[in-house]
């Protein structure tokens, strides 16, 4: 009797090894897909305006001596997103609960800038084409040539 079970046991061991290889290959493929998705996500353009529609942002503008020259508040309005850029309208004010000016904007990863067409015109520069838009960096403000840098702070939605 033990002799006749040997071929059956051998066949079952081969099948078990085959299933183990398939399971291991499946697990490896699963983790490879997850890793690939994370790499792709990290290299996708991230637009600032996607979070501006939810909560307002405070923007402090600094001169070359790192002193605050001007403060603006931005709140997103309507936007149309495309691959690598968005355009639409947002609201700009000097005070959080002050009078708001409706302004057009273009948020472009290709040109590496976020432009708010308000008075004064605000131009924020991306530090690189990949990754996220920094909350601080270089900027240009029309009518204020002394302004060189900015810091953008997300405010609590309760404000």
Determine the pLDDT at residue 129.
57
How far is Cα 64 from Cα 62, in angstroms, rounded to an integer? 7
- Pair 117, 104: CB distance under 8 Å: yes
- Pair 149, 136: CB distance under 8 Å: yes
Determine the pLDDT at residue 80.
74
In the numeric block, which tokens belong to residue 90? 């947002």
How far is Cα 149 from Cα 136, in angstroms, rounded to an integer? 7
Q: Does 7 sit behind a cis peptide bond, omega within 30 degrees of 0 on the bond before it?
A: no
Phi, psi of 99 (to 5 degrees): -65, 135
Determine the pLDDT at residue 132.
57
How far is Cα 51 from Cα 59, in angstroms, rounded to an integer? 14
Other CB atoms within a 10 A radius of the CB of residue 145 amount to 9
- Pair 80, 90: CB distance under 8 Å: no
CA 139 to chain centre: 19
Q: What is the pLDDT along the chain (159 residues), one digit of tens a residue?
A: 455 556 667 777 888 888 888 999 999 999 999 888 877 665 554 555 555 666 788 999 999 999 999 999 988 766 777 666 788 888 899 988 878 899 998 888 778 888 999 989 999 987 765 555 667 889 999 999 999 999 988 887 544
- Pair 18, 113: CB distance under 8 Å: no
Taking alpha carbons only, the member of 96, 91, 90 closest to residue 159 is 96
Other CB atoms within a 10 A radius of the CB of residue 7 amount to 9
Task: Note if the pTM is more than 0.85.
Answer: no
């Amino acid at each position: 009797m033990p002799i006749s079970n040997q071929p059956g046991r051998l066949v079952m061991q081969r099948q078990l090894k085959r299933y183990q290889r398939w399971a291991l290959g499946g697990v490896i493929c699963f983790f490879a897909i997850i890793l690939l998705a994370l790499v792709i996500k990290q290299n996708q353009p991230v637009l600032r305006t996607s979070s501006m529609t939810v909560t307002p942002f405070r923007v402090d503008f600094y001169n070359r001596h790192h002193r605050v020259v001007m403060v603006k508040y931005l709140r997103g309005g309507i936007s149309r997103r495309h691959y690598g850029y968005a355009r639409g309208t947002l609201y700009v004010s000097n005070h959080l609960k002050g009078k708001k000016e409706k302004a057009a904007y273009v948020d472009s990863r290709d040109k590496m800038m976020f432009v708010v067409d308000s008075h004064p015109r605000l131009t924020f520069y991306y530090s690189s084409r990949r990754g996220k838009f920094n909350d601080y960096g270089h900027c240009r403000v029309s009518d204020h040539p002394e302004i060189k840098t900015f810091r953008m702070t997300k405010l609590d939605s309760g404000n």
